[in-house]
Chains A and B, each alone.
Chain A
Amino acid sequence: MTPLLVLHRLGDDRGGAAWRDALVQDGWHGPWSAPDQPGHANAPWEADFYEPAHLVMAPLRHLQEIGWSEPPVVLAVGVQSTAAVLLAVGGRATAIVLVDEPEGPWPEAAEEIQRAEYEWLRVLADDPEAQAPAPYGRTDPRTRHGCTPRHDPDFTAEQRAAIFVPVLQLDAASAPEVLAAVRAWWESQSPSP
């Protein structure tokens, strides 16, 4: 069975624990992994920020270390969707499941995008906790400021057009409900021999 990689929501105080519990309870067949992302639970902080290009580094490294024989289905929650999209575009996912993908509204004019991004930088600069060394064993305070608001609709459209693997989009639901939906969807995508 195709492996499953779960990228938990940015800022989830339990890291990937809720997903690991749900996968065990579900008796998920096949290999799976739901690691704590950097700055969450027991994973040390490593990222510069929490922006798309940074979010994808940890799962990329994880996939390299875990050495699955085929690219996984990547299930990503919230802003981690951007990492899942990059993995799909770069040929490192067999399919992606985007749960609660952020929908904006995003600033669209170039000056608005820049202004929003600089405001985000100033908020990070002015938050002493976000500047202090990242704590170990609890959620990094930097995550509360989310990702950079840089979002260009043309770029996103171009990126989405480069995804050639199945994509499932789901709204907020509990981990067990999501897993049930993913199983049903993935079985429908993979005809029995």
Chain B
Amino acid sequence: MHLAEPDRATFVDVNRTRLRLWEWGDPTAPPVIMVHGAFDHGRMFDELAPRIAALGYHAVAVDMRGHGDSGPLWSGNAWLSMNLDLGMLARRLGSPVRFVSHSFGGGQALCTAAAFPEDVKWVVSIDGLGPPAAAFEMGDPAEVTAEAFAAIERVWERGARQYPSREDMAQRRRKINVRMSEEWAEHLVLHGSRPGRDGGFEWKFDPMFNIGLGGPFSQEMLLAEYHMVTCPVLVLTGTEPDTWNDLSPQERVERIAAIGDCRHHDVAGAGHYVHLEQPDVVVEHVRRFIEEIGP
């Protein structure tokens, strides 16, 4: 696997935070914002971004707030902050923008398209239709809240979890994302970690990101959000069972149907990280999508 460095690495200050941007292609071309999933970072698009740029775009992969080199979080309930970050970033880059997004980033892109319809032209969501409905069930509020408080205080006291080496981090990552190649795990670790305490290493993502206090959200609200997306959307999902692609077929159909102007393709030979496993197929689907709806 050979991955070139981004053409430019910059920062932008928006919405009272600093976001790291990894840029490819002509900066005067129409912008495509590439949004990674939870716990990842913009360098996961090192293969896809230059190929999106080659289609005639300014490809900008962002490290989301609390991830990579971007600003920290105040609390784990950062969904809306991130929406506003993306809306403001779209305006800064020159709206309307396009989104190519993965997993959690897919949810963020759809939500931003719903909140700022005039600033978003189209969205490609790679396995980013949200978790199964069961994940929205909060559980016992007292238990959830007490556990979250304890976890928040642990982060304040101890900071990020430490790992003995980057090799160890990559191995652990592959135990979770079982279909991820060794090269990709190493790449994501290389750009997603930093030296920590006592000679160890830690992930760059803010440990607070993992801690939510729960809130009023439901499958019904998710579908309402999707109803409000008016731009064209392309959804790509892998056919292979994998960690974090656990929507039931019925849930998937229901969510796709909630988006007014949506087309969906299954990609064979891929799990959750469709763009890492089948980049050629993803690029071809994006190319056809653009051909259909315009740039």
Contacts and interface: CB of A to CB of B under 8 A. Distances in A.
Interface of A: 45-49, 51-54, 56-57, 60-61, 64, 86, 89-92, 109-111, 113-115, 117-118, 121-122, 124-125, 131, 133-134, 148, 150-152, 154-156, 158-159, 161-162, 164
B190 interface: no
Contact of A114 (B152, B212, B224): B224
- Ranked nearest first, the 9 interchain pairs of A and B with the lowest CB-CB distance are A152-B216, A53-B77, A90-B145, A155-B216, A48-B81, A110-B224, A118-B115, A162-B141, A111-B224
Interface in B81-106: 81, 83-84, 87-88, 91
B176 to A, nearest CB: 26
B142 A89 contact: yes
B77 A64 contact: no
Nearest to A156: B216
A1 to B, nearest CB: 24
Contacts of A150: 215-216
A109 B148 CA distance: 28
Given A90-B146, A162-B140, A56 B224 contact: no
Contacts of B212: 53
Contacts of A56: 213
Contacts of A162: 140-142, 145
Contacts, number: 118
A29 B216 CA distance: 38
13 contacts: A48-B73, A49-B80, A57-B74, A91-B145, A91-B149, A92-B149, A111-B227, A117-B115, A125-B87, A150-B216, A152-B218, A158-B141, A162-B145
B16 A46 contact: no
A89 B81 CA distance: 24
Contacts of A115: 228
A90 B225 CA distance: 29
Nearest to A151: B216
B116 A122 contact: yes
Interface string B205-222: 000000011011010110
Nearest to A61: B156
Nearest to B145: A90
Contacts of A133: 16
B15 interface: yes
B47 to A, nearest CB: 32
B114 interface: yes
Given A89-B145, A113-B224, A148-B80, 15 more contacts: A45-B16, A46-B74, A48-B16, A48-B73, A53-B212, A54-B75, A64-B156, A86-B213, A115-B228, A121-B87, A122-B115, A125-B84, A125-B87, A125-B116, A155-B215
